[in-house]
Amino acid sequence: MTSAANAAPEKSPTFGNPDQPAEGAVNVTNPKALTDPGPQDPTLAGTQPAFLNPPATDVNGMPQYWASFNLAPKRIQNGGWARQVTQDDFKISTTVAGVNMRLGPGGVRELHWHQQAEWAVMTYGTCRVTILDTMGRPQVADVKEGDLWYFPAGLPHSLQGLEPDGCEFVLAFDNGESSEFNTLLVTDWIAHTPPDVLAKNFGVPVEAFKNIPLHNRWIYQSNIPAPPLPTVETQMAAVAGKPPNPFVFRLGDMQPNRETKSGTVRIADSTNFHVSKTIAASQVIVKPGGMREMHWHPNADEWLYILKGTGRATVFNTGPAALTANFRPGDIGYMKKALGHYLENTGNTDLVYMEVFRADRFEEVSLSDWLAHSPIERKGYPRNTVRRSFCAAAIQSASFVFAIPRIEKHDSAGSNAAQRILKALETESRPHAGTYIEASTTKRPTIKQTKPLVTSEAHGQPSA
């Protein structure tokens, strides 16, 4: 047993290694303490290097905010399959339940409706969607990869995979407890209604229903080729006309709301996708070496879905608490409202993902934007701590590691803030030992190649 007298003295906290007792493998003195000789699945564990070897800045843990469709069981029927991640599987996800569905060519998701609103993004192929609103106005549309749809709670709809290779999509329900396997199906309702009631309701003889399905279809294979879209539009036409606002949104066809050398952002919420009253979403593309800057969302939790590429995120909470996770295609993240986070591209291809919120509008606060537009001095805060903030460190970096968006765009207020911070740095002495940031005024942040993806402009405004 090692005596207290012989124990190595604890190091003072440093920038990037802020805690006592110290966290992370970098602080382990006996290499054997880092080994994992017990039972394990290296292939599965290897998908989460951040879990196996977290950065020294991770501390205290927090509810698991990573899940994956890749580990969800599929329900397969003739015509297609689906798998889901709901709050039953992913406790933290209280506002959104996710479903990944595939329909082969001619595969049909039967006529149904939900008690919750359904939002979707197409990830592959072509799908035909139909819906009827409360005024008896129908819509039919063929949607492709990158398109969205939104069906308000209670509105009946159906889906069909089209030639040549069907479709795949991801659904988000605006309630974490929703389940794709527990929906209101027209086959179920008709099969469980007395035949004489059906005859009276539809004005036909009872015999007309003798061959109805006695079990729900859910997903089934149709052997009848899908007619051309104009033909179906004519068949479905109603005296009431078409819905005033479409239930489909061509997200991939719109100009980005924000575009920088590091990526693009496209936003679809009730301001432009007018029917989408309970779901706001953004598609984010981050170039290799770039990152979705440090930020938070003041109005809703974020449900994150990775479409392409690889990334790494850290979520920050009071405590302090910080947890880092890796993300790959098919993975899901969930960041609670107002908790700080970022997502960096760790691969050599574009990182593409969707941010989904149970809200009518997309809202966010950028950390760098806030710091750039805050006074240098704040009564009650130590001068060193304020002046040697992350904002100041970012301004020293030629690559703007943690971007000041308005400085990057030569905003006058931001430029003035930058000059004030730089001037303070020139005259300020080093912070006292043990303060959160311990770095010389000439030392740059260590992630020099990172290029920020800035999205803190006024909502809906494209960059210059």
Output the pTM of the full model: 0.82
If you average pLDDT over every residue of the chain, what do you get? Answer: 84
Residues 243, 116: one domain? Answer: yes
Residue 410 has pLDDT above 50, yes or no: no
* Mean pLDDT confidence for 66-73: 98
Domain boundary among 191, 220, 249: 249
Residues 289, 236: one domain? Answer: no
How far is the C-alpha of 204 from the C-alpha of 206, rounded, in Å? 7
* Mean pLDDT confidence for 319-329: 97
Closest by alpha carbon to 297, among 261, 342, 257, 330? 342
> What is the edge-to-edge ordering of all strands in the sheet holding 66-68?
66-68, 331-335, 302-308, 351-357, 280-286, 263-268, 258-260
pLDDT at 272: 98
Q: Answer yes or no: is 34 within a domain.
A: no
pLDDT at 277: 98
CATH code for the domain of 274: 2.60.120.10
Instruction: Pull the structure tokens for residue 399.
Output: 């690559």
**Strand 167-173 vs strand 118-132: parallel, antiparallel, or unpaired?**
antiparallel
Q: Bin 191: left if φ > 0, else alpha if -120 < ψ < 50, else beta.
A: alpha
Q: Answer yes or no: is 94 within a domain.
A: yes
Q: Answer yes or no: is 230 within a domain.
A: yes
* Mean pLDDT confidence for 170-183: 96
Q: Answer yes or no: is 25 within a domain.
A: no
The CA–CA distances, whole Å, from 27 to 22, 117, 226, 407 equal 6, 49, 63, 37
How far is the C-alpha of 101 from the C-alpha of 157, rounded, in Å? 15
Residues 321, 377: one domain? Answer: no
Residues 325, 426: one domain? Answer: no
pLDDT digits (tens, 9 = 90+) for 255-305: 999 999 999 999 999 999 999 999 999 999 999 999 999 999 999 999 999
If residue 218 lies in a helix (H) or strand (E), which one and from where to where? none
Structure confidence at residue 444 as a pLDDT band (50, 70, 90): very low
**End-to-end CA separation in angstroms for the chain:** 65
Structural domains counted in the chain: 3
Q: Answer yes or no: is 323 within a domain.
A: yes
For the stretch 143-160, what's the b/e string if a residue is b when 16 or more beta carbons lie within 10 angstroms of its beta carbon?
A: bebbbbbbbbeebbbbbb
Residue 393 has pLDDT above 60, yes or no: no
Q: Answer yes or no: is 87 within a domain.
A: yes
Query: Has 259 been annotated as catalytic?
Result: no
Structure confidence at residue 375 as a pLDDT band (50, 70, 90): confident
Domain encompassing residue 413: 368-453
Residue 445 has pLDDT above 70, yes or no: no
pLDDT at 68: 98
Q: Answer yes or no: is 120 within a domain.
A: yes
pLDDT at 15: 78
Residues 321, 271: one domain? Answer: yes
Closest by alpha carbon to 61, among 314, 377, 406? 314
Give the residue, 316 or 406, on which the prediction is more confident. Answer: 316
Domain boundary among 249, 267, 284: 249
Residues 81, 208: one domain? Answer: yes
Contact 128/141 with Cβ under 8 angstroms? yes
Give the residue, 22 or 171, on which the prediction is more confident. Answer: 171
The CA–CA distances, whole Å, from 437 to 225, 389, 392 equal 65, 8, 11
How far is the C-alpha of 71 from the C-alpha of 85, rounded, in Å? 9
Does the N-terminal peptide bond of residue 320 adopt cis geometry, omega within 30 degrees of 0? yes
Domain boundary among 333, 365, 397: 365
Please give the torsion angle defined by the CA atoms of residues 20, 26, 28 and 33, in that order, rounded to the nearest 10 degrees: 130
Contact 212/191 with Cβ under 8 angstroms? yes
pLDDT digits (tens, 9 = 90+) for 333-351: 999 999 999 999 999 999 9
Side-chain-side CA neighbours of 300 within 13 Å: the count stands at 20
Residues 299, 346: one domain? Answer: yes
Residues 413, 282: one domain? Answer: no
Closest by alpha carbon to 384, among 441, 444, 320, 340? 441
Give the residue, 25 or 421, on which the prediction is more confident. Answer: 25
Instruction: Pull the structure tokens for residue 82.
Output: 């689906």
Indicate the residue type of 317.
Answer: N
The three-state secondary structure class of 116 is coil
Residues 290, 177: one domain? Answer: no
Backbone dihedral angles phi then psi of residue 259, each to the nearest 5 degrees = -140, 125
Helix ranges (H only) for 22-61 are: 42-45, 49-52
The conformation of residue 236, written as its DSSP 8-state character, comes to H
The catalytic position among 118, 168, 355, 438 is: 355
Residues 192, 315: one domain? Answer: no
Contact 47/328 with Cβ under 8 angstroms? yes
Backbone dihedral angles phi then psi of residue 189, each to the nearest 5 degrees = -65, -45
Residues 110, 240: one domain? Answer: yes
Indicate the residue type of 20.
Answer: Q
Q: Answer yes or no: is 59 within a domain.
A: no
Residues 372, 327: one domain? Answer: no
